[in-house]
Structure formats: structure tokens, C-alpha cells
Chains A and B, each alone.
Chain A
Amino acid sequence: MPDDTKPEGASAPEPTSEPAAKPGAEQPAPAEAQPAAEAAPAASAPEKPPAAPAAGGQPAPKPAPAAKPAAAAGAAKPAAAAAPKAPAAMAATPWESDLTRALKEEFGDQILDFSSYAGQNFLAAKPEAAVPILESLKEIHDFDYLVDVTAVHWPDKPEPFEIVYIVYSFARNERIRMKIRIPEGYKPRTAVPVHLTANWLEREVYDMFGVEFEGHPDMRRILLPEEWETFPLRKENSILKMDQHWVQENLGIESGQ
């Protein structure tokens, strides 16, 4: 699924954070680290390089030094693109069991695929099938405990949000994941009627990613204040950007970050 080593650098929100962080991550990474290390602004010079550049990610918004990091990113990119030999996609293997056969029979092409990685099984489904599958998993297959609902943001993909449901079955002692991919603005149905615990978990997904759940009884922010403007876990919202915005908005001064 993450087949984006180069798009990462190309249009990702924090293009410079990546290479900037690399020198901090120590010497080894040979080819691609070099240009970044040289081009990295003076900031990373002193004794503790890891903390400084990685902290804020040194992204675009700072006006003055912006030109330089951009150049650095440009220099680093080709090298980074050339260097990696590992495949960019997760080396998942197919997953087949009685459960997958039963689910396939019930949902047909609503389920896109069954895979397994690092000994953990997961399935990918079409977004509209998520709640029916959860329901079937609960009622028929004993997956009666919704462990977690969360999301991952892949800004370069046409369907940037991946919602991940983790369910567990006490009876079978088995834990599986279900993933759906949704485009910006799509509102997946809420899982609250199936699992009450989805209430807060979905609220947190909304809070952090801005994905609203259709039919949720209480679709509000949960951890951040109501008037917060950004969805922090989206990749385009860097810590630095949010910090500067907040400080300027609330304190009326330049953020020292």
C-alpha cells in the first residue's frame, strides 16, 4: 500500500523534514544523507543535531530560509529516489481461512482483499461495506470487541484516508483489522450502532483527521478545543505551522520556534 517513496518527497507537505531528519538519524544512510547533510542550514550544526531539525520538521512556512531547504530537498530527492532498493509496498501475503471464505461468500466483491503481514491478518473493504462487515463479524463470527478505530493519512493517494478498525474475538482469541480507503469529504457510516465504544474513537478520528462519520450521535471534537481550526494528524499540518498559527492568533507575537 505505501508505494510512495518519491511522491513522499515530491508533493508531501513537509518535504524538507525528511532529509533534514536524516542526518540527525546518524551517519550510516550513505548516499541520500550526504547532500541533505551538507545543504541543511546551520541549525543542525551544533552538538545535538537530532533534536533541532526533526522537532519542527523545518518546513516551508519560515520565509527567509525557505529557499535553501527547498534547494536541499531538490538536491536530496534524486539521490533518495535512486538509492532505495527495497520495494516500497508492504510485503503482505494473502490470508485465507474459514473466516475469509465465509466473509467472501457473504460480501463478495465488497471485500477487496485479505492479507497478512507480520503474522497479523487484515482485510480491505469498500467503505460502504465497513459497518455491515463489522456487524457480521460481531453477530456471526464472535468478534465482539472493537479494539480501536483509527486512521492513517496518505496525502498523495486519490483516496487519502485509510480508516482502520481493529476487532478482537474473545471466543476465538483472534485479532483482525479491517481497512477502508476514503476520498476527501467522504463520510463513512458510524459504527456506533454496532459497537458503543466506537463513539469516542470515531470522535477522535474526526478530531485528528477531519473525517466525519455519518449518523454519529455526537460528532464533535474530543481532545482538542472546539474552536481549533486544523486537523492535526493530517500530514500537511506540521507542528511548526500549527504552533506559529496558534501563537500568532492567541498571543499576537512571532512564535520563537
Chain B
Amino acid sequence: MADTFLDSTELVLNMGPQHPSTHGVLRVILKLDGERVLGTECVIGYLHRGVEKIAENRTWQMFAPYVDRMDYVAAVSNGLGYCLAVEKLLGVEAPPRAQAVRVILTELNRIASHLLWLGTHALDIGAITPLFYCMREREYVLNIYEKYCGARLTTHAFRIGGLQYETYEGFEKECLEFCDLFEKKIDEYEELLTGNRIWQQRLTGVGILTAEDCKEYGVTGPMLRAAGVKWDIRKAQPYSGYEKYDFEIPVRENGDTYDRYIVRMQEMRQSVRIVRQAVADIPAGPILAKVGKVIKPPVGEAYVSIEAPKGELGYYVVSDGSTQPYRVRIRPPSFVNLQALDKMCRGALVADVVAIIGTTDIVLGEVDR
């Protein structure tokens, strides 16, 4: 074939790290044949702060605020996982009242995290309105956090052994008000998007991950459930009293971007359901178990994981019996899920890559730690 100007074969395109649709500082190198993606490579680590190393130089309590800075849109979940892991090492359990409040705040956090995902994902696809709506509703959640502990994003809401703060006057009422308001809002988002033909055409059949792929790549969370695996750690290995609440695990079969969207929307409804139940029945009693001022877990190790908004968030903690962690390993869902990006992108169009990154719901603070 003659070498003409138009006979270009493969093109390597650099996307990010400064790209609005990579949701942070993710750099993806795309190999393209025309509009088709032949392969991708992720370059990560721009936000690496060495959180695991910092842990070894802090006491057990002092490290707790650092985990909030990993998945900074779901800081409460991060904190819960860490507290549960240390509590496991110590062999203590948070009192029932603390557990209920933890569930409420964590589920609100799941809503907040999903709202941010929905807004930005829709924005990536070209729908601008949902972003404003989502941010508007997320504000209610953040206000509840602010009233509860003074911080909106990196909350450090929990302490090892329970809670630091008692709930404020009117906490239950505000949570319920939010639930009432928010259920209608989800309908509103769905009205905008679910049946929208452009939305469907951009998402359906894009970035398919089958259940097999998910297990192979260790993909968890809504992405796994969208592929038809009914697995949620809140049900499979309940923690913090989740077994007391009645809720469903939303599942879809196709494992494409559209199904992941549906799963996350339904998860928000389920979270509202859990919050309602938990608020209705916050037991009275202490909010902090007896852990002492100096936390010195016995020599040992534990792996504790929770269902964070993005998937399985695990903490592998090793204690040498001193006041400082010997090792804290964080198993971030975003990092592991991101690995499947290449699989999802192969054969897709460049425009789909944006949709696929959006649907993976990564937070680079957590990927890079």
C-alpha cells in the first residue's frame, strides 16, 4: 500500500493527567486505530503520599485522620474500615449506639459518594444538569456532617472503639428530612437519565465486564453487582450491625455501563432505606467502648474489609504490641477496579473511554494513597 498521508496506522494518544474526565490525576495512554482503542495503559501515582508508611510513624489513633484523605469523597467509610480493623485487633466492639450512628453516617456517605459519581459521570457524557442537582442534594449530607463533627469532607467522624461525638440535637429529624426529600430527587434524576435515549445509547453495551472478568480482576462493588454477582460485604459478612437492617442488594446481569448506573441508583434508594431504619432505632447508651487513652493492640494481625461505595475496602493491620502500627496495608477498591480499565476499553471508541472511566468510579486519592 502506498504511504500516503491518510494511511496512518496506529496512534498513541495521551489522556491526562490534567484532563477533566479522568476524575483527578489519572493518565491513560491510549493506543488507537482510528477511533477504536487497541489498548490502554494507566499511569498512576501522581497523588501518592505514602499513607502506609506514614501509618508506621504514627500511633494507632493518630493515623485515623489520614485514611479520610484516601477516598476523600467517602471519608466516613474509610474511617469506619480503619476503626473496625483496629477494633478487631483490640478485640473490642463499638457499643450499639455507636454502631447505629456509624451506619447512618456511612450510608449517607454512600449517597454522597454516588451523587458525586452520578453528577460527574453525567457531565462526562454531556448531560450538565444532573451535576447541579447532585451537588445540591449532596450539600444536605455534608451539612449533616458539618453539624455532627465540624467537617464536611475529611470528617474523621469515628474513633477507635466508637464515636467521639454524641449526635446533635435534631440529628434524627434532619436525617429523616433528607430521606424524604432525597427519594423524590432520585426519581428526578432517573427521569432525566434512565429513559433518555442519548444516555442509553452512550452507555448500553459499553465497557462490559462479565462476572468472570470481575472475579479475575478482583473487581468489587457496584461493578461486580452489575455483572450479576449478588455480593455485598454488608450482607455476606455483616459488620457494625448491618445484619439488623432490611435492605436489598441491587443486581443486574449485563455488566455494562448502563447497568452499573442502574445499580448505583438503586443502591442510593437502599441506603435511604437503611438510614430510615437506623434512625428510627438508635439505641441509648454509651458511644465509646473502653479502649483506654493509649491504644496498644496485642501482637497480632487482622484483615477487615467493608463495603465502601466503590467496592471492597480492606485494611490489613499488623501490630507488634506497641502504640504504633507495625504495618497498615490498605486494599483500595479504586486501585483494583482501575486495573480492569484496559479490559473494558479494548475495542471501544475514544468517546467511550470517558464513559468507562466515569463508570469505574475511581478516586485517585485512593488509587495512589
Contact = CB atoms under 8 A, between A and B. Distances in A.
Given A55-B57, A195-B216, A147 B305 contact: yes
A25 B294 contact: yes
Contacts of A88: 299, 320-321
B212 to A, nearest CB: 9
A233 B316 CA distance: 15
A144 B58 CA distance: 35
Interface stretch (A14-22, A101-109, A180-188): A14-22
Contacts of A197: 216-218, 336, 339
Interface string B57-69: 1110010000000
A224 B48 contact: yes
Interface stretch (B32-40, B145-153, B199-207, B327-335): B327-335
Contact of A166 (B57, B314, B335): B314
Contacts of A247: none
Interface stretch (A63-71, A127-135, A170-178): A170-178
18 contacts: A18-B322, A25-B324, A26-B294, A29-B296, A54-B62, A118-B88, A118-B91, A147-B303, A148-B329, A150-B316, A175-B303, A195-B218, A197-B218, A221-B45, A222-B44, A223-B45, A232-B50, A233-B53
B62, B88, B218, B368 interface centre (most CB from chain A within 10 Å):
B218
Contacts of A148: 303, 314, 316, 329, 331
Given A25-B323, A50-B59, A150-B316, A166 B303 contact: yes
Contacts of B321: 2, 5, 84, 86, 88
B339 A2 contact: no
Interface stretch (B75-83, B229-237, B246-254): B229-237
Given A89-B299, A91-B298, A147-B314, A24 B89 contact: no
Nearest to B43: A222
A84 B217 CA distance: 44
B302 A117 contact: yes
A188 B271 CA distance: 43
Contact of B331 (A56, A120, A147, A233): A147
B361 interface: no
A146 interface: yes
A87 B320 CA distance: 10
B197 interface: no
A199 interface: yes
Contacts of A173: 236-237
Contacts of B324: 18, 21, 25, 54
Contacts of A238: 57
Interface residues of A, number: 60
Given A5-B320, A8-B320, 17 more contacts: A2-B320, A18-B324, A54-B57, A55-B57, A56-B57, A57-B57, A88-B299, A91-B298, A117-B300, A117-B301, A117-B302, A164-B316, A166-B316, A170-B229, A200-B339, A208-B52, A223-B368
Contacts of B296: 29
The range of chain B's interface size is 35 or more
Nearest to B321: A86
A200 B335 contact: yes
B293 interface: yes
A125 B300 CA distance: 18
Nearest to B331: A148
Interface string B107-148: 000000000000000000000000000000000000000000
Contacts of B335: 200
B162 to A, nearest CB: 19
B84 to A, nearest CB: 12
A196 B216 contact: yes
A252 interface: no
Nearest to A24: B59
Contact of A152 (B57, B217, B318): B318
B316 A86 contact: no
Interface of A: 2, 4-5, 8, 17-18, 21-22, 24-26, 28-29, 50, 54-57, 84, 86-92, 117-118, 120, 144-148, 150, 152-153, 164, 166, 170, 173, 175, 177, 195-197, 199-201, 208, 221-225, 232-233, 235, 238-239
Contacts of A166: 303, 314, 316, 331
B256 interface: no
Nearest to B212: A144
Contacts of B48: 223-224
Contacts of A84: 321
Contact of A239 (B54, B302, B312): B54
A239 B314 contact: no
Nearest to B302: A118
B314 A152 contact: no
B258 interface: no
B261 interface: no
Contacts of B294: 25-26, 28-29
B299 A144 contact: no
Contacts of A86: 298-299, 321
A239 B323 contact: no
Contacts of A200: 335-336, 339
B273 to A, nearest CB: 23
B185 interface: no
Nearest to A200: B339
B158 interface: no
A150 B329 contact: yes
Among A18, A84, A148, find the residue whose CB has the most chain B CB atoms closer than 10 A.
Answer: A148
B293 A28 contact: yes
